[in-house]
A and B are shown apart, each in its own frame.
Chain A
Amino acid sequence: MIRVVVQPEPIDTAAELALAEAEAGGAGAVASFTGLVRADDGVTALELEHYPGMTEAALRHLANEAVERWALLGATVVHRVGRMTPGERVVFVAAAASHRAAALEACAYLIDRLKTDAPFWKRELRGDAARWVETREGDIAASARWLAE
């Protein structure tokens, strides 16, 4: 099962994990990754903008690729949009597979590729000051690594 959600509501990781386990019949492993809003250098809030329609299609494409590449029994991508504060969940990915290696690798793949291949934009707020986040070179390299293999 593939589950892709873009939502302004907080991400319920317990519910998402329970769903991933329930829907992945025969899986021996469910791995997940949760990304939180970092509180570093004075950030008071984060705003996430996206491209409705294209975002969901891009995430679904990545989930399909992961399912095919690791023969997954399930893949979940949940991304929050709108305004959130440090400590809140911004993204959740999960992969269900027969064995742990595939589930763990697929999770890394989903989060690495999501950072370069899905149309989201972050704006950091520090009090009244706002700044659009620039792409990190490390993120580009992490994503490209999967395409080179």
Chain B
Amino acid sequence: MAVEMLYFAWVREAVGRGGETIEPPAEVVTVADLLDWLGGHSRPHAAAFADRGRLRAAVDQRFAPLDAPIAGAREIAIFPPVTGG
């Protein structure tokens, strides 16, 4: 099923785009699996996702850990820790 990916801050810069539509295979179960899968197809993605400790995620606009399942998700965002205020 198609998933909308969104990237913010330096993750967006490293990937080289603000978002994309993807169709991950069934064996991609968690957000971390998704990062592995995307990184396996593209060098910029692999570089952007290399240091997992610096990445945070949101699944359908709610913060989620990287081991969160993505089944049924329509929108997944990857970004650095937030720095508002």
Contact = CB atoms under 8 A, between A and B. Distances in A.
A135 B10 CA distance: 13
Contact of B77 (A54, A57, A91): A54
B83 A133 contact: yes
A123 B12 CA distance: 13
A141 B81 CA distance: 14
B82 A54 contact: no
A121 B58 contact: no
Chain A: number of interface residues, binned into ranges? 20 to 34
B84 A120 contact: yes
A112 B10 CA distance: 24
B6 interface: yes
B48 to A, nearest CB: 13
B85 A54 contact: no
B39 to A, nearest CB: 21
A117 B8 CA distance: 15
A3 interface: no
A132 B9 contact: yes
Given A51-B61, A54-B61, A116 B82 contact: yes
Interface in A103-143: 111, 114-123, 132-135, 139
Contacts of B10: 132
B30 to A, nearest CB: 20
A100 interface: no
Nearest to A116: B82
A75 interface: no
Interface of A: 35, 48-51, 53-54, 57, 79, 90-91, 111, 114-123, 132-135, 139
Given A54-B58, A111-B85, 9 more contacts: A49-B8, A51-B61, A54-B77, A79-B85, A118-B82, A119-B79, A123-B9, A132-B10, A132-B83
